[in-house]
Amino acid sequence: MSLSGGTPDDSTPRPPGAARYKRFRAPRANGETLFDPPSGDLPDLVQENRSRAAGMAYQLLGTSLLDLRAQARQALRADAGLSPEHASLPLVVTGHQPELFHPGVWIKNFVAGSLAKQVGGWAVNLVIDSDLCRSPTVRVPSGTPASPLSETVAYDALERPVPYEERSVVDAELFASFPERVGGKTRGLLKPPLLLDEIWPSATTIAAAGGSLAEAITGARHAVELAWGNQTWEMPISRVCDSAGFACFAIDILARLPDFQRAHNAALAEYRAAHRLRSPAQPLPDLHQREDWLEAPLWCWTAADPTRRPLYARQTGRMLELSDLAGQPWRIDLAKEPVGQLADLRLKGLKVRSRALVTTLYARLVLADLFIHGIGGAKYDEAADHLAERFYGFSPPQYATVSATLRLPIEYERATPQDLTRVDQRLREMRHHPERRLQNTPEAQPLIAEKRAWVDTEKTKANCHERHLAITSANAAMQRLLAPQRESLLETRSRLRGLVQASRVLDSREYAYCLFPAERLRRLLDIKR
């Protein structure tokens, strides 16, 4: 696999005094990868980050950040079933929602596993099961190469959106028949066997044994990774957020929530200004205030009502109140072991989960020696760097960005919008400058000479009308001579339009990894181990 890949563009225009931001673009060529920093620099970056973390001086509820890192990594090691010495070894972390994502996302897991092996450490993939399961479907190409369509195929029934950790498989029959229905849609385009046919029996077995939808999809994927020699450990973010280490991290933010809100919103404002973004939702929304309640960078819900809502907090003296603004508040006395009190609330059904920026801040500040982002996460985590500088007084250890582009192995005639533009330019030239395409046509020479004479004639008030009519008349006469060429170009344009539309369907890099043949994926993911 090529590791050179694309490189980020860090030339984003900046207001005076603003931070420099990189502009990441997905690799364009099939099989191309993106590494930032370059892949060969990642082992050194792991060591640099370990040294950098040793100098992070910050106290959370009387615990130093260094001690919290040690405790949290020991807990993560225990959850993964690893020996105690693993907690002190280099740790590479990545993460994503438990979805059937495209190969450009999946490559992060293989880079994490390969890098961990290089540096003598271990790798963890955080399964973001706190995200909402909105639509359990994948997009697939159907039809023929000449006339393809983009359709969706469901792998489970639609339900109201709830976090993945709360979502079981609703329709076991629909779930089990997923490969067959995908095959029916893609038969004219994709040659079996697909990786989907290999992984789905494992997914149905996990679901039948009572596993959640996230566990079924994650378990089936991870089994393939292990079979292909990539050693990582899967860790749901729900389990991480239930740990004492995360509780300490979250309560520290809640106890200083006015400061965190200011730092959070200022970092996002700086990012929007640098990127000239007008939408207040990009890259992430600000945190808001509702009367005396401040919005926290956390989600919450209860076992009785798994409706995910923002967590709000307010503080009076040492008493911290938490609320989803939909029910009775929960109270924590900050002077009486608040971490234990949050654990007690969890036992009573309250679930507190990290939102995007806090997920990566916790991963980078507390868990990882290197966190590997995709392109989307890398964009918003630049804002996280500046948030940390404002709130903690230092930047987190540096992260890496990894992605790839892999297209389905479908043979068809390709065309690009640029091909269509070139034909349109030729048609425009025929209309306005037909003489350029008739230089070697004898019967056009008198018309060309007449037009040239009038073009060379200085335009005056007296001759402007006559001059215009003469040039227009010469152009019209030459158009008749170009009729066969124009008709041919119009046919070409019509054909190219169809090909461009087909290319939009067939050339997408967003198709799920399980729609590819296993061997094609192996070639992309074959990182030196």
Would you list the domain boundaries of the chain? 417-506
Do the Cβ atoms of 283 and 268 come closer than 8 Å?
yes
pLDDT, one tens digit per residue, over 429-485 is: 888 888 888 888 888 788 878 878 888 888 888 888 988 988 888 888 888 888 888
Please report the pLDDT score of residue 141 as a whole number. 98
Give helix 195-208 / helix 178-186 axis angle, nearest 10°.
160
Dihedral sign computed on CA atoms, order 9, 13, 17, 19: negative
pLDDT, one tens digit per residue, over 99-110 is: 999 999 999 999
CA–CA distance, 273 with 46 (Å, rounded to integer): 31
Do the Cβ atoms of 457 and 469 come closer than 8 Å?
no
Q: pLDDT under 70 in the chain at which residues?
A: 1-20, 527-529
Q: Is 496 left (phi over 0), alpha (psi -120 to 50) or beta?
A: alpha
Please report the pLDDT score of residue 511 as a whole number. 98
Strands 63-64 vs 59-60: parallel, antiparallel or unpaired: antiparallel
Q: How far apart are the first and last CA of the chain?
A: 13
Q: Which distant-in-sequence residues (6+ apart) come within 8 Å of 43 by Cβ?
A: 115, 118, 119
Do the Cβ atoms of 438 and 482 come closer than 8 Å?
yes
Please report the pLDDT score of residue 20 as a whole number. 59
Please report the pLDDT score of residue 4 as a whole number. 39
For the question of whether the overall pTM of this predicted structure is more than 0.85, the answer is yes
DSSP bridge partners of 370: 92
Helix, strand counts (H, E) of the chain: 18, 18
Please report the pLDDT score of residue 461 as a whole number. 86
CA–CA distance, 294 with 259 (Å, rounded to integer): 11
Residue 487 dihedral angles phi and psi, to the nearest 5°? -60, -40
Give the DSSP H or E segment for 265. helix 257-275
* Closest of 416, 506, 412 to residue 186, by C-alpha: 506
Do the Cβ atoms of 430 and 407 come closer than 8 Å?
no
Residue 295 dihedral angles phi and psi, to the nearest 5°? -70, 130
**C-alpha distances in Å from residue 387, one per residue of 36, 125, 270, 281:** 21, 24, 10, 17
Do the Cβ atoms of 172 and 207 come closer than 8 Å?
yes
Do the Cβ atoms of 72 and 91 come closer than 8 Å?
no
Do the Cβ atoms of 115 and 43 come closer than 8 Å?
yes
Dihedral (C-alpha) 240, 243, 249, 250: value to the nearest 10 degrees?
80
Dihedral sign computed on CA atoms, order 86, 87, 89, 91: positive
